Amino acid sequence: MSSILITGGAGFIGSHLAEQLVKAGHNVVVMDNLFLGTEDNLKAIRESIVFYKHGYEDKAFLLGIVKKHRIEYIYHLAGYSSAPMFDGKEAHGMMMNVVGFIGLLDVCRDMNVKRLMYASSSSIYGDAKFQVEDAKVKPPNFYALSKYAMEHAARLYFDLYKVQSIGYRFFSVYGRNEVHKKQFANLISQFLWAIEAGKDVVIYGDGTQSRDFIYVLDLCNALILGMKAGECYARAGVYNVGTSETFNLNDMIDVLEEMTGKKALRKYVANPIKNYVTVTKADTAKAKRDLGFVPQFSLKQGISHLVSARKIIHS
């Protein structure tokens, strides 16, 4: 049993991870300023965790928490979690994601935290043809740039101070507990909500753009494997976390229709987004080789799981 801190633990991915870690018997501390997430996401485990409503960028506070709870591992999921959040707030977004992260790395070093696992993003790749970890990348927006800078800060902290870390380039993650993200939620969730409500499913362009969708429980498994991996895999390396399969939006909507038994009202509109990515597809060989990560949920299985979970919540 370990003592684990999750920053951003009231968010979509963080709340799932907290559930999985509690289930595995760990002591879990969650720190989230509720900028976007909600304590409701932690309802099922609220009695089993310690929760702090606080910004992770407050280094003195963070240090106090790590000391008080003798934190051994940190999962860092807090921050601006998607590209549009940076619109008009580029400098603040970089402060939150990058400067805050450097403070967190300081705390890991000063408190001898065993290992840090943190969220990077596949958005770093932009429209790169080969989405493999050692590809030369050109981050297409400030969100991606913040993740790229985080990866390099982690590398420096390993090189200079031997702070162990693993960065994860999450691909398109979907699952329950995404309602708080509203327009920033994964397209699977947004389209599912529209289908359930009988509203238009708005698709940019012709719907042939494709994404590597990964179910949130698979992602949590990849994160947990990172904590257990040998030291040689925690030297500030980065790992793709996807399925290595890609589905276009039209096919994804077909699966939603099949799993809900409802027809989607598809509405195709001109794409208003600059630097829009047309294909994401993870090369997952490195995560498989080093972490032993193999996703278990196909798109159909993941969506079916999500649809059932929502039925239970609403019944």
For ligand NAD, the binding residues (CB under 6 A) are 7-8, 10-14, 31-37, 55-57, 77-79, 81, 96, 100, 119, 121, 170, 172-173, 181, 186
Residues in the chain: 315
Quote the tokens at residue 289.
């080789």
Half-sphere exposure of 125 (CA within 13 A, CB side): 27
Q: What strands lie across the sheet with 3-7, from one edge to the other?
A: 49-52, 27-31, 3-7, 73-76, 115-121, 165-170, 235-241
Smallest distance from ligand NAD to CB 192, Å: 15
Instruction: Compute the least distance from the CB of residue 229 to ligand NAD, in Å.
Output: 19
CB of 223 to ligand NAD, least distance (A): 10
Identify which of 58, 66, 93 has the alpha carbon closest to the alpha carbon of residue 5.
66
CB of 242 to ligand NAD, least distance (A): 10
Q: Please check whether residue 262 is in contact with residue 197, taking contact to mean a CB–CB distance below 8 angstroms.
A: no
Closer Cβ to ligand NAD, 14 or 255, answer by number: 14
Find the shortest distance in angstroms from Cβ 261 to ligand NAD.
Answer: 26
Q: How far is the CB of 7 from ligand NAD (least distance, A)?
A: 6
Q: What are phi and psi of 220, to 5 degrees?
A: -60, -40
- Torsion angle, CA of 235/236/237/241, rounded to 10 degrees? 130
DSSP 22: H
What does the CA dihedral 135, 209, 83, 56 come to, rounded to 10 degrees? -70
Q: Which helix (H) or strand (E) holds 240?
A: strand 235-241
Pick 157 or 170: Cβ nearer ligand NAD: 170
* Spatial distance between the Cα atoms of 308 and 184, rounded to a whole number of angstroms: 22
Q: Nearest approach, Cβ of 238 to ligand NAD (angstroms)?
A: 12
Whole-angstrom CA distances from 27 to 2, 3, 69, 87, 116 are 6, 5, 9, 37, 16
For ligand NAD, the closer of residues 265 and 276 by Cβ is 276
Least distance to ligand NAD, CB of residue 263, Å: 26
Pick the closer one to ligand NAD by CB: 170 or 293.
170
* Between 115 and 211, CB nearer to ligand NAD: 211
- Measured in whole angstroms, the distance separating CA 43 from the mean position of its chain's CA atoms is 20
